[in-house]
């Protein structure tokens, strides 16, 4: 088996990125963060990739957090740099111009939950558990957890998860809006790939427009967001895919999008 902390597989326009440290419950050290950043940069640049699925190796964890053994050696300046490295990765994922699905197959704690929250969609096994337990280590979330939790689940849920530090099960995560779907563990890969295939067959430029509009609109005033939405809507009329999609609808056939 390769010693690389991340493995890649591509099939049917779907790139699966797997954190490959099962003996450490896929904990995020500096090397793994850098490998993930490079993997997502490559996926963004590869025209053969339309959707990305992110998961963890083994049956226990998506990513169980940051690598505590490495973190204990850091100085305050190195700790800040480690946080910035993690935030750079999360921002890259969040701003990727292609849909990213987190396939949460086990523990997603600390940095693992932050990693999942940076993805556009999250499907969790019914056996999964998520949480921000940094308070138990005398720390706070450092890869964007305090900020994305508020935006995804609201202030009350963010305070509960960060202040109490206790993990929650997949059903509670679904209730809070932290995951989109919960499925039986045995069906997780099948259901995730089914969603990925649907996205891979959708109009790529429209997918990108939706991702950009929601990301940018979520960070500005509604008037500015609406203006940006109108600009992106109009831009779609310059694409061959829009002509193909509307034509296929009128002709009652399945569209064939070509990313143009």
Collapsed DSSP state (helix, strand, coil) of residue 210: helix
**In which band, very low, low, confident or very high, does the pLDDT at 59 lie, cut at 50, 70 and 90?**
confident
pLDDT at 2: 62
How far apart are the C-alpha atoms of 150 and 42, rounded to whole Å?
30
Q: Taking Cα atoms as reference points, which of 80, 13, 95 lies closest to residue 46?
A: 13
pLDDT digits (tens, 9 = 90+) for 88-102: 999 999 999 999 999
* Mean of pLDDT over the chain: 96
pLDDT above 70 as % of the chain: 99
| Residue 112 and residue 63 in contact, taking contact as beta carbons nearer than 8 Å | yes
Task: Find how far residue 86's CA is from the centre of its chain.
Answer: 13
Whether the model clears a pTM of 0.75, i.e. scores above it, the answer is yes
Question: Does the pLDDT value for residue 28 go beyond 70?
Answer: yes
What pLDDT is attached to residue 217? 87
- Residues belonging to the chain: 260
Q: How confident is the model at residue 1 (pLDDT cuts 50, 70, 90)?
A: very low
Residue 17, burial from CB neighbour count under 10 angstroms (0-12, 13-18, 19+): buried
CATH topology of domain 6-200: 2-enoyl-CoA Hydratase; Chain A, domain 1 (3.90.226)
User: What mean pLDDT do residues 144-152 have?
Assistant: 96
How many CB atoms within 10 Å of residue 155? 9
Per-residue model confidence (pLDDT) at position 140: 97
Mean pLDDT of 156-162: 97
Q: What is the tens place of the pLDDT at every residue in 118-140?
A: 999 999 999 999 999 999 999 99
Please state, for a pLDDT cut of 90, what percent of the chain lies above it.
95
**CA-based nearest residue to 62, from 10, 91, 24:** 24
The domain spans of the chain are: 6-200, 204-251
For 9-21, what is the mean pLDDT? Answer: 97
> Judging by DSSP bridges, how do beta strands 14-19 and 6-11 pair with one another?
antiparallel
35-51 mean pLDDT:
97
| pLDDT the model gives residue 127 | 97
| Positions marked active-site | 114, 134
Cα(223)–Cα(212) distance, integer angstroms? 16
Element (H, E) at 192: helix 188-200
Asked if pLDDT for residue 83 goes beyond 80, the answer is yes
Query: Which of these CATH numbers, 1.10.3470, 1.10.12, 1.10.357, 3.20.20, describes 204-251?
Result: 1.10.12
Mean pLDDT within 172-195: 98
Instruction: Sort 183 into a burial class: Cβ within 10 Å, 0-12 / 13-18 / 19+.
Output: middle
């Amino acid at each position: 088996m390769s010693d690389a902390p991340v493995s890649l597989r591509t099939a049917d326009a779907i790139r699966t990125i797997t954190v490959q440290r099962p003996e450490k419950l896929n904990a995020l050290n500096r090397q793994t963060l850098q490998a993930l950043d490079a993997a997502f940069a490559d996926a963004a640049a590869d025209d053969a990739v339309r959707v990305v699925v992110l998961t963890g190796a083994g049956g226990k964890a998506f990513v169980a957090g940051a690598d505590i053994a490495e973190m204990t050696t850091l100085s305050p300046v190195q700790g800040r740099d480690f946080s910035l490295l993690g935030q750079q990765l999360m921002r890259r994922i969040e701003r990727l111009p292609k849909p990213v699905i987190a396939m949460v197959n086990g523990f997603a704690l600390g940095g693992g939950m932050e990693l999942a929250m940076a993805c556009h969609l999250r499907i969790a096994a019914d056996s999964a558990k998520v949480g921000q337990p940094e308070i138990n280590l005398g720390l706070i979330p450092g890869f964007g957890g305090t900020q994305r939790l508020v935006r995804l689940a609201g202030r009350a849920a963010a305070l509960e998860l960060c202040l109490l530090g206790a993990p929650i099960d997949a059903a509670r995560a679904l209730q809070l809006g932290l995951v989109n779907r919960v499925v039986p563990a045995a069906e997780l890969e099948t259901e995730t790939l089914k969603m990925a295939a649907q996205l891979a067959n959708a109009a790529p430029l429209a997918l990108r427009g939706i991702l950009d509009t929601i990301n940018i609109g979520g960070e500005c005033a509604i008037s500015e967001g609406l203006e940006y939405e109108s600009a992106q809507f109009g831009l779609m009329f310059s694409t061959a895919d829009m002509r193909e999609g509307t034509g296929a609808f009128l002709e009652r056939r399945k569209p064939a999008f070509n990313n143009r």
